[in-house]
Structure 1
Amino acid sequence: MFPFFSRSKMSDAPEVNPAPAKTQEPHPLDALTGGAFSAATSGERASRIRDWLATQPAPEQLQEVFKELSGRDKGAARAVRERLDEIRRAKGQEAIAAEWAEKAQALLAAPKLNIADALAWQRDAAKAGAPLSREPLSLLKAQMADRVKVIEDLQHRVQVQREAAVLLAQRIEVLSTKPWRDAHAALELLRADVARWQEQAQELTGDASWVSVEARFPPLLDASRTQLLVVWEAFQPAVAQAAAAAEDAAAPLPPVPVWADELRAARGLPTEAAAASAAAKPARAAKPKVAPEVVEKAAQVVREALATLEKETAEGHGKASAGAAAALRAVLKVHGKHIDNALEQQVHTALVAAGELEGWQRWSADQVREDLVAKAEALLNRPEGQALGGRKMQETLRNLRDQWKQADQGGAPNHGLWKKFDEACNAAHKVVEAWLDKIRTEAAEHKAQRLALIEEVKAWAQEHASSTDWKGMNRALYQFGDRWREGGHVGEKLFAELQPQWKQAIALAAAPLEAAQKDSLARRHAMIEEATALGAAPTLRIDAVKALQQRWQAEAQSVPLDRKHEQKLWDAFRKPIDEAFNRKSADREKAATELSARDRAVLDASKALEAANTTGDAQQIRAAVQALEAALRGQAQAAEAVATVQKAEAAQNAASPAEQAGAGDAPAADADASGAAADGEAAAPAAAPVAPPKPARPVVAVRGDDRPGMKKDAPAAAGRGARPGDRRDGRPGDRDAGRGPRTEGRFGDRNDRGGRMGERPAHEDRGPRLGDAAFRAQRDAMEHAQLALKKLAAQAHGETLTQLLAAWDKRDPSQVPSAQDLGGRVTASVRAAWTQALSAAPQGDASEALLRLEMAAEAPTPAEHIAARRMLQLQLLTRRNDPAPAQTWGQDAARVLASASDPASARRLQNVLKTLLRKQ
């Protein structure tokens, strides 16, 4: 707005006391980048950044400069970012280069290098972005190329050697058509050439890279060597024989026909061809005169053949026209000299027309043949992964040859194409030959294995002819059968020869087992009939059924049968017995449909116990168990009966207080005598209250049981060591006390007398038998209750230990569990010692106390303290009067609690107290 001084804005006068310019502090990275951050323009800043990048700064500096510069000038920061990207790409390429270098080294280190694998490595590496133009990949690439070049050179030399072998064989064949002296003169040169060829072939096979050539080249070289040696080994003796025959007229002639004729001529003998022609040439006979009927017949036969040819040619039947032309030519050979000129001209015209048709068909057939030749040559040029196996190659070659035969039937043969086709098929047939050799070798091995197995079965049959181990025999026969089935493939003809021998041997070996199985079947059928009779009986005899089942099991375990047959026999055996048991169960269930009062009480108590088990409260579970035991003893029914009697007497009699008191004592008496109450008689009113039994005299003193393995603090049971005439309960008395009069029987009344020697009643009076449902319900409820109580006890024990260890860790005596929680093994004095140990500060070393506790609990000691435990045991052996660790474990635990707590010691203390607090 308005100036605060009087000088005009348009005035040229200088300002008085101008404000000083604000100076900027230099950037910390300005010195590093050569003043890039203090540059005035973006172009100058970019120029300084480029100059700084030329000094090859470290990546950390680049990252820091880029972070600061990207917020100021993105154009200048682009060069830094490009350098960072270049470094990042270089690191990635280094990793890729290391990976592909490792693969290349693995290929080069292998003794056999596949050319396809080498080319695939270069292609895949380039595709993955590996820097093939930089070290080390460039060097590895060059080594790979050199190795491939060596292998390809070997393969090329194999082909050259093959062609050289063919040329040498041709030279030898040409020499066999020239005079023998020329062959003799060229013999040394040929010998040198053949020897050089063999040396070159040996060099090829001895090359280190020979194992890497393709699989088709070694057979080619071997075939060329074999063919050349065969021709050469036949040529040398023939030349030597010809030289010997030239010097000695009596020597035999060489097998070469040209040389033999030359030597015959030198000896003045006729050649073989002249002699043969002279012998075959018959004497010239006079030409007889031809009869008119012969001429007429010849013309007729020729016209018929000519008509057939013209018809087939007009219809375009190539195969038929060729056959008709051949038939006409055959007729001409016989009757051609008897026909006139006009007919002969017609014959030639028809043959020319048929020849044109045959020529077109020959061209068509040649197209098919060329296709077949290409297919045959392609059989060996397939990739490795698509190479045909032996059987597939055999079928393919058979189909190709069948197609060639069909092509030959449609036109004239082409010997040139046939030669190429046959060579390609023969080369491909080597795969079939190798496969057939392998098949023959395997068939011979399989035949030997099967013959050896047959002999083994025969020897086994003789060895076990008198054995009665039927299970072992059955198992061995099954094993023999498995080995025969897995014996490998043999031909149908050979299998037809071996199969009867195998059947005879296995039948001889299985004859004793089959006889035993036959007898076992008879016995089992007899037992099935016996089971049917037992099941049909009105009263099921359990003892007879058990004995019969035991006999069946013994029979089944002794003599094995086929599993399905044995299962059918078992089903037939158990069916009548199961039906009898089902009838018995049905009758029992029908009789038990109406539950008695005692069964209902037991069921109700069992349900209450199951409900208490789910609560997890030990007091409720124990109370429910007591209620179920009372229901089982019939006390509930007795109590109800006594209450009923008491109410009846109170209603009828206004008795005196003394009588009322007597009536009030009746239920207790009845409750004590409830074991004699029955199911149906519990609710009946009693005529008079039952007097309570006299209590047994209390035991004042007993003698400790000092026998081995018994507790000394338990009273000794009365036994045979008592004085004669004494009772087993330790009270003197008559041995016959409790028995009835002699007049009641030899041994008295069995219901009144005691058990054996008057010890106790023979059978406890437990009331009437429970029904099946009530028995199962109370049994399951009791088992569940015991499991629940054990689980609760284990939980309480674990909580007690955890609370004790927590009190040790916090040094808080108030957290020590109560004596009831610790159990009967921990006395009040021991608990007081533990509390006092926790009240003071940590002091002392508890290592020896922990070892004594582990010895008392028979618990394992950590490995690092085993030596100390052994030393302590040796020391305890010398302290005869000192108490054992099992007697002083409470004081030892107090010493441990008085020391400092640590995790290892707490774990060891927990392990020993877990055992010591539970011991009884």
Structure 2
Amino acid sequence: MRGRVFLQTRPAVTQAPTRSPDTQALDTLTGGAFTAPTSGERTARLREWLQSQPSPEQMQEVFRELSGRDKGAARVVRERLDEIKRSKGQEVIAAEWAQKAQAMLDQPRVNIADAMAWQRDAAKAGAPLSREPLATLRTQIADRIKGIEDLQHRVQVQREAAVLLAQRIEILSTKSWRDAQAAADALRTDVPEWQTQADALVQDPNWASVDARFPPLLDASRTQLQVVWDAFQSALAQAAAADADAAAPLPPVPVWADELRAGRGLPPEAPPKPAKPKADPEQAAKANEALAAAIAKLEQELAQGHGKASSGAAAAVRAALKDHGKQVDEKLSNQAHTLLASAGELEGWQRWRADQLRQELVTKAEDLFETVPPAEGAPEGEAPVRKPRYGGRKMQEQLRALREQWKQVDQGGPPNHALWKRFDHACNEAHKVVEGWLDKVKAEAAEHRATRESLIEEVTAWATANANVPVQDWKAFARQVHQFEARWREAGHLSEKAFAELQPRWKQAIQAAEAPLSTAQKGSLERRHAMIEEAKLLGGAPQLRIDAVKSLQQRWQAEAQSVPLDRRQEQKLWDAFRKPIDEAFQRKTQDRERAASALSERDRAVLEASKALEAANASGDANRIRNAMTALDAALKGQAQARADKDRADAQEQAPSAAPAEAAAPADATAPAEGASSDAAPAEGEPAAPPATPKPTPKPVIAMRGDDRPGMKKTEPAAPMRGGKFGDRRGAPGAGAPGRFGDRDRGGRDARGGGRFGEEDRGPRLGDVAFRAQREALEHAQATLRKLAAQAHGEALTQLLAAWEQRSADQVPSQSELGRSVTPSVRGNWVKALQATPSGDASEALLRLEIAAEAPTPADQMTARRALQLQLLTRRNDPSPVQTWGDDTARVLATAHDAGKARRLQAVLKTLMR
């Protein structure tokens, strides 16, 4: 509101500026800026006053008076004064460049290069090109440049069109004159139309501004096309007259003349060729050789587009034709004239092409810097900033490439000093970036050299300090050497000369530093080679000594950990060391596999029984698995019977086939022994074989008591020992093979066969394949049975809970499904509970079941459980919950079904019914 009140007094201050430093008047003028209590309010009132566009004299007076009081508030007025000053300066610059642009546009002839330079120079001078009138003038200049370039392009198009029209006319001269007469109507339209378009180009306002080479080209094309068209019309009219009148002369076109002559019934006449005088073959060969060399040089220059060089080569060809024109071959002469015509055309275009290439190079050189517009919020009229597009090295490469291209262009055309000045100025500006980069590179190179020299001194000092000190840790020593080498690699870039100077000194210092390590590595190599030879001896031995191999490997590891080597070299030595040992173990494995592959009949039986057990495991049928386990156990026990049969057969083979006296032999001794061949009887007249000594029956070994305490009888067998953890597995029901951890049973018997201490003999040892197959099959069978039992237990429990929910006694699982933990009487109580009407409370029964199963109790029942546990402690003679869980379950089943009670009952029965 205060600001609005002061604004009402503002019309009274629109008179002439006050010259005297009257503070009251200035305060009234600025709306109370001088009497405002704070600097922020003064600044706000000054900004509001400046919106009314006061005169510069008033702003200067206010600034002079206020700058001594409040510089922060006076800064607003000073910024406005500076802005007015800059705008006045830009107005002067804009008027100057506007005058230049207008003068350029008023000229009848405008040079494209000058027009393009106006915008660049105006931006450099800081002229506001985005403001009027410079914005309009810049647009007019750009349109003028575009019109001139389009006009020059249209001239080239018209020239090509003239060439195509001339070619059409020339092609018609090679066809029938009637075809040419039919096509003449179209040409009578196209040729005048081309002439009209050419005249329109000349009448264009920008025609005076085109390059000087374009008007002659257009005039030459117009003249050539007119001459060809006039000759064509004259010849065509003469051909039509000759066709109508047989006495009329024939046209000068050979094809048309032959056609008319054939129409008149006359034979065609070949034009007589002027006879060339015979020349000396040697001179003709020299003339052809000289002209061919000049032609080859001209072809090369024309292919490369070199203007100056092509002019000289064309002059050489003309000179050769002038000197040897009468002696050269006609084909070679025609080729020379064709190339001379092409060279003449290239000379006419070479200046334009060279200037075009130079203009492209100038644009590339000037584009090495990019113009960055002023940032947002910058004072208006601030000149744009030019920043380099590339860094030092990239800029240097670009400058070298541009200057090399300029030299090549200068070789192909006359020079252009104006473009050269622009190009050289742009390159010099860009080279300043290269100079700064070179200075930086020199400073970095000096720093890198100092770093490397200090590193050499440090390595030399370190080597001197460690020369006579025994090394305890060679790995730490090698790590320090590697760190020195890494620091040398990362010390920065040097020039080739400086690097060649420092590299020998570095090699000498690092070699002296790692000399102790090299000596230790040499000794380690000798020891490792000796261990490799020892490994070869161990690997080649007929019997592989495992203990010697382990000891040798430990020695190798100790050596490898003590003295480090190069990684590749150490890997090669390790491969050479382990190769003979691996080959020996491989031979041992192959021998074991060969032995395992040669299975006996008993092993095959065990294998077949193991495979049948694996198939039963896959079927998931418990009865089938148990039957297969029984069959496998029978196959294992059948080995003893097979061995007994083999021993009996061996004894019968050793017994005599006939007794020496019938009285001394049993009644059935005359018959051959069972299993013996009838060929075993001695022939007649041969003495009978002496009777074989019968093999004594082995006396069973009986375990005696190992003490001599009073009352103890050693003749009585010792009581069987209590089965341990591993022996119980063999004696478990249904187990027919050793357990997982031990292959021997309680008495020390090997599961593969062969007992001791008088135990049952299972026959010869099983092979590795059969033994492992039967062991894995039994382990899988036991795991499958446990899985099936757990699955059956879960199904039975689920069925029992479903029977409780539906009050259906028929759904109670059978005795076999419930398992051994549930007796028939308990199952009967459950059935009766389900048949009766639901009644009673199951809270105490559930708590007893949870105590028996040691299961958790819901939080709201914990107090009741503690109270029940205290009561149970006082009832010493009552059965515990573990003994009465079946009856407790029946009491729960007798009550009504509840989801929470069912979850609690299921949780405890999972444990109790196992």
TM-score, reference length from structure 2: 0.41
TM-score, reference length from structure 1: 0.40
